Amino acid sequence: MSTSTGPAAGASAPVDTRPSAGQRFSAWFGRNAIKIYAFFAFVYLLLPVAYTFAFSFNDAGRTNLVWQGFTLENWLNPCGAPEVCGSVVNSIVVAAVVTAMATLLGTLIAFALVRHRFRGRATTNLLIFLPMATPEVVLGSSLLALFLNILIPLGFWTVVIAHIMFCISFVVVTVKARLASLDPRLEQAAMDLYATEWQAFRRITLPLVAPGIAAAALLAFSLSFDDFIITNFNSGQFTTFPKFVYVSATRGIPPQANVIATAMFIIALAIVLISQFAGKRKREA
Amino acid sequence: MAKKTDITKAEGDLYLENLTKSFGDFTAVDDLSLQVPQGSFFALLGPSGCGKTTTLRMVSGLEDPTAGRIRIGDADITHEKPYKRPVNTVFQNYALFPHMTIWDNVAFGLKRRGIKDVKKQVDDALELIQLTQVAQRKPTQLSGGQQQRVALARAIVNRPAVLLLDEPLGALDLKLRRQMQLELKRIQTEVGLTFIHVTHDQEEAMTMADTVAVMNNGIIEQMGAPTQLYESPDTAFVANFLGQSNLFPATVVEVDGEDLVLEDPDGSFRMPKSRMGRNVSTDRGARVLVGVRPEKINIAALDAAAAGPADGNFVDGVVEATSFLGVSTQYEVRTPGGEIINVFAQNLDSQDLLPVASQVRLTWKPIHGFVLDGRQDIEAGVEIDPDALVVS
């Protein structure tokens, strides 16, 4: 460490050669500024989650806005409030169907766009971006108008159709990125080595693109599970979890909503940690 | 498939018959015919874009010919799927499967064909390329040279009737490339498979191949043993692409027995008729190109050389530039007729170095020169610097 300019007399006065308190603080701050900044950034990001987590233990009664005391009742009985679990199940079913369909269709579109040259390819590329660029209110209201005009009753299926529509774009973009980095000569090499088209796809292409498809599926699931605006326009009497939370906000959100939200957060965190850990294990092997 | 012969087990010489491949208006390969004897090391040599890789891809089945036939022995494989042909490829960038271990990469072909005894064959192949110790690693953990050898083992392990190598050494540095050339030749001799090697590197082709076919603009300019191509080129392209040549235009004066009497601005001289390339006209007044390799020309100071009678053909000139290359010295000599002639003189005695502006006499034996058709581009194949093309 550097020493500040002390008296030239030398070792006779060691106290004087030590840096002043102000200098020591600024040196310490210089070393740790990035950590301090990171700390506050994480506080900013995680405070709402921590709040949600804490208030899932609130002995709330009718409304969960003020801290009333600690209880495990909400966690032991997450379906205690009316409609909570029904809406969560609805959301999960919708998200599962949407994920399956959007991932399948989006992956196929991505393959077509990356591997084939056809008329309208550039246009398709552009159209794929539109749902991501368009405000959700516009998408939601337009879809509502469409469904009403062609007389499709609002409910589970209209929500599913709406979600697939905007999830496809994200799947296409994610899978495309992965696929574009895949050397087509690998498939040619596989076919040169006696693999049929299907075997080359299953043993070479699919394993190499799988991480991209998995990421796309997770993205589609969370987008669908999370979506409120488009859902609200097109769901009719059908209730998803975000819609339930929004509707109940007018008369007080039950603490069970916090329990569900916290549980979702923990599950998502666990998935990330497990996949990171598995990836690390695989690389080291 | 209805045929009784199993195409995957076909063997024999490889025949390309009138093979043509067009992409729209562009003809990449034009009516190409050749025969590659079983067990030989064959090189397809040419600049990039000459159609050599397209030819290779048609043999492997990754490209469908526009016209013509491909046969191995009696089996017609022209339109067979790639995975039905007894042909394997070593790709230019190796194309190793990144998610599989080296062992699994090498085993891939055997497993697809449902071969028994995979383990022993893969182990043997890894031993052949001396990479047994890295069998359980992934391709990215290997050096370029090691990856190259794995790509080779992955193809060879299947014992194909024909092994195709697409610029296999292109990505390696010079020293490693020289080393791998010898290694490839050793492996080819050891396993006795037919190798077809595509390259733009004339030195690589000449070092390894039994037979070299020089390709240009979708056709084969000339085919033969490396020494034959070098000593007796048929076309200006071959003369310039393989090594260096002095080419200068001349006209036919007459045919005198076994000799051709020619004339150019620097005088008249004789060349044996046996040294004529393709399509040379011996009519009086016909235009020809005379070629001499720079190392076949003897250079001497004029006063010393003029003492005795010239041995064979000679021309006098002035040294315009010299460059000392260590093993040899390169001279650029301008003749009175305005030709620039390159001469490589071996440095037997460095005291003999001739300074710029010396008057010199160049002599060469007629049998060392060659005569080409004069109606072709004298510069064909000359501007192509093989190493400048590696990047593309």
CB contact under 8 A, A188 and B82: yes
Q: Does residue B383 register a pLDDT over 70?
A: no
Backbone angles phi, psi at B323, to 5 degrees: -140, 130
d(CA A101, CA B372): 69
Residues in A touching B88 (Cβ below 8 Å): 192-193
SS3 A102: helix
Between positions 95 and 124 of A, the ones with CB within 8 A of B are none
SS3 A202: helix
CB contact under 8 A, B95 and A188: yes
Determine what percent of chain B is predicted with pLDDT higher than 90.
35
CB contact under 8 A, A193 and B62: no
In this structure, are residues B92 and B170 in contact, taking their beta carbons and an 8 Å threshold?
yes
Closest Cα partner for A91 from A138, A156, A146? A156
pLDDT reported for residue B2: 42
For residue B182, name the pLDDT band (cuts at 50, 70, 90): confident
Q: Does residue B352 register a pLDDT over 80?
A: no
Position A176, amino acid: K
pLDDT reported for residue A202: 92
| Pairing state between β B194-199 and B162-166 | parallel
Distance from CA of A280 to the nearest CA of B (A): 15
Closest Cα partner for B195 from B228, B225, B226, B168? B168
In this structure, are residues A114 and A179 in contact, taking their beta carbons and an 8 Å threshold?
yes
Q: Is B246 on the interface with A (CB under 8 A)?
A: no
C-alpha dihedral, B265 to B266 to B268 to B274, nearest 10° = -90
Closest Cα partner for B59 from B23, B90, B25? B90
Rounded to two decimals, the ipTM of the complex is 0.79
What tens digit of pLDDT does each residue of B43-80 get?
999 988 888 999 999 999 999 999 999 999 888 999 99
pLDDT reported for residue B54: 92
Helix (H) or strand (E) holding B322: strand B313-324
Distance from CA of B111 to the nearest CA of A (A): 9
d(CA A19, CA A32): 18
Closest Cα partner for B112 from B90, B135, B81, B79? B81
Residues of chain A within CATH 1.10.3720.10 domain(s) are 82-237
In this structure, are residues B361 and B316 in contact, taking their beta carbons and an 8 Å threshold?
yes
Best residue of B108, B154, B167 to probe chain A, by most A CBs closer than 10 Å? B108
Residues in A touching B82 (Cβ below 8 Å): 188, 191-192
**Residue B81 CA: distances (Å) to CA of A106, B151, B222:** 29, 21, 30
- Partner residue opposite B99 with nearest CB, options A193, A199, A207: A207
**Residue A203 CA: distances (Å) to CA of A197, A210, B97, B147, B245:** 10, 11, 10, 20, 51
| Pairing state between β B67-72 and B313-324 | unpaired
pLDDT reported for residue B310: 60
Q: How far apart are the first and last CA of chain B?
A: 40
What tens digit of pLDDT does each residue of B141-163 get?
998 888 988 999 999 899 899 99
Residues in A touching B140 (Cβ below 8 Å): none
SS3 B309: coil
pLDDT reported for residue B180: 83
pLDDT reported for residue B305: 59
CB contact under 8 A, B83 and A195: yes
**Residue B137 CA: distances (Å) to CA of A191, B102, B103, B104, B118:** 23, 6, 8, 10, 18
- DSSP secondary structure string for all residues of A40-72: HHHHHHHHHHHHHHHHTTB--TT--SS---B-S
Helix (H) or strand (E) holding A112: helix A84-115
Distance from CA of B97 to the nearest CA of A (A): 7
Q: How far apart are the first and last CA of chain A?
A: 42
CB contact under 8 A, A193 and B88: yes
Place of tokens 């008296």: A7
Mean predicted lDDT score pLDDT of chain B: 86
**Residue B355 CA: distances (Å) to CA of B110, B345, B359:** 65, 13, 9
CB contact under 8 A, B62 and A191: yes
Residues in A touching B60 (Cβ below 8 Å): 192
CB contact under 8 A, B97 and A192: no
Place of tokens 């369909």: A101
Between positions 126 and 185 of B, the ones with CB within 8 A of A are 154-155, 158
Q: What is the mean pLDDT of each run of 10 residues along chain A (285 residues)?
A: 46 62 88 93 92 86 77 82 85 95 95 89 90 91 93 91 94 93 91 92 92 93 93 91 87 84 89 83 62
> CB pairs under 8 A, 24+ apart, for A59-65?
A60/A254, A60/A255, A62/A252, A63/A251, A63/A252, A63/A253, A64/A252, A64/A253, A64/A254, A64/A255, A64/A257, A64/A258, A65/A252
Position B372, amino acid: L
Higher model confidence: residue B300 or residue A173? A173
For residue B308, name the pLDDT band (cuts at 50, 70, 90): low
pLDDT reported for residue A15: 57
Q: Is A26 on the interface with B (CB under 8 A)?
A: no
Q: What is the CATH number of domain A82-237?
A: 1.10.3720.10
Bridge partners of B267?
A: B264
Q: Does residue B384 register a pLDDT over 70?
A: no
b/e A121-144 (16+ beta carbons within 10 angstroms → b): eeeeeeebeebeeeebeebbeebb
Closest Cα partner for A224 from A200, A203, A242? A242
All domains in chain B, ordered by first residue: 8-231 (3.40.50.300), 244-373 (2.40.50.140)
What tens digit of pLDDT does each residue of B184-227 get?
888 888 888 899 999 988 888 888 899 999 999 888 999 999 99
Q: Is B97 on the interface with A (CB under 8 A)?
A: yes
Residues in A touching B81 (Cβ below 8 Å): 191, 196
Closest Cα partner for B339 from B278, B254, B248, B263? B248
pLDDT reported for residue B389: 44
Residues in A touching B99 (Cβ below 8 Å): 207-208
Which tokens is A169 given? 């774009």
Between chain A and chain B, how many beta carbons pairs sit less than 8 Å apart? 58
In this structure, are residues B56 and B69 in contact, taking their beta carbons and an 8 Å threshold?
no
d(CA A31, CA A260): 41
Least confident span in A95-99, B4-8, B151-155, B262-266: B4-8
Which tokens is A30 given? 């210089």
Which tokens is A40 given? 């506050």
d(CA B296, CA A259): 92
pTM of the predicted model as reported, rounded to 2 decimal places: 0.76
Q: Does residue B307 register a pLDDT over 70?
A: no
- Partner residue opposite A192 with nearest CB, options B8, B82, B93: B82
Residues in A touching B170 (Cβ below 8 Å): none
Cα dihedral B383, B384, B387, B390 sign = positive
In this structure, are residues B204 and B177 in contact, taking their beta carbons and an 8 Å threshold?
yes
d(CA A256, CA A275): 29
User: What order of strands is seen across the sheet that includes strand B162-166?
Assistant: B87-90, B162-166, B194-199, B41-45, B211-216, B219-224
